[in-house]
A and B are shown apart, each in its own frame.
Chain A
Amino acid sequence: MKQLREDFSSVKEKLEKGEELMLIYRSQPLAKITSLMEEPFGKKAKTKKKAKKKDYSKIIEKLAGGFELGDWTPEQLNKLLDKRYEKMLSGF
């Protein structure tokens, strides 16, 4: 009871964490105090944050593809760029 009167913030903090508190009056247990929230604050906040994390796989799947260009190796792709330089320098 004394703690409730003098240090309500710590009582509130404990309740938010999901702790169950016993109210003692004149050295006798008088009542139980429990949070009305289904889940403790921290846990709920974490769950909410997790749900917010976006899965980008569908977006990338949608943006990928669209062309059937054959199977070009990285070396072949590089050669296309090299050819361009060779063409540019062929006048020298």
Chain B
Amino acid sequence: MKKCYLDSNILINLKNTKSSFHKKTKELLVSLVNNSYNLCISSLVLDEFLHQFQHILKFQKKRDILKKVLYALESVMSLPKLKLVNPPLSKKNHLKIVGYMKDYNLLPRDAYHFLIMKENKIGYFATFDKDFREVFREGKINDVFSVI
């Protein structure tokens, strides 16, 4: 079964109906799940999602922020074929991050996402982030928008 790692911006755009990426995100997820892909997220993705979501709600002066955050998180967790993946447990593998930062011009956080994908043998990545251009160009991970 193919696996696709979801970036936090995918989750934000899924929940936000005012986003210009909302429809595209929904269509992508439907297509992935109907084509037997597993959707993968890590605690790093969830941390980013929670931080961004909470920040936007605060920025918009919404009430009951944590209640809304929990509701959004519950719906993300209910996505069909969603799997949680972990970073590697081997100390040696964590040293690869600096190499990834250098080779693909990634920020530490993005290099960490890349490491998680590599270690979990995830072949596809769904993101609207342009920082992964080098990774996609080198063919290390496939941009799922180019295949779906």
**Interface on A for B, CB 8 Å cutoff?**
55-57, 59-61, 63-72, 74-75, 77-78, 80-81, 84-85
Contact = CB atoms under 8 A, between A and B. Distances in A.
B99 interface: no
Q: Is the interface of B mostly helix, strand, loop or mixed?
A: helix
A69 B57 CA distance: 7
B29 to A, nearest CB: 5
Interface of B: 8-9, 12, 14-22, 25-26, 29-30, 33-34, 48, 51-52, 55-57, 60, 68, 71-72, 75-76, 78-81, 109, 127-131
Q: Is the interface of A mostly helix, strand, loop or mixed?
A: helix
Contacts of A74: 9, 21, 127-130
A69 B60 contact: yes
Contacts of B22: 64-65
- Most chain A CB within 10 A, of B14, B19, B22, B128, is at B19
Contacts of A72: 12, 16, 19, 56
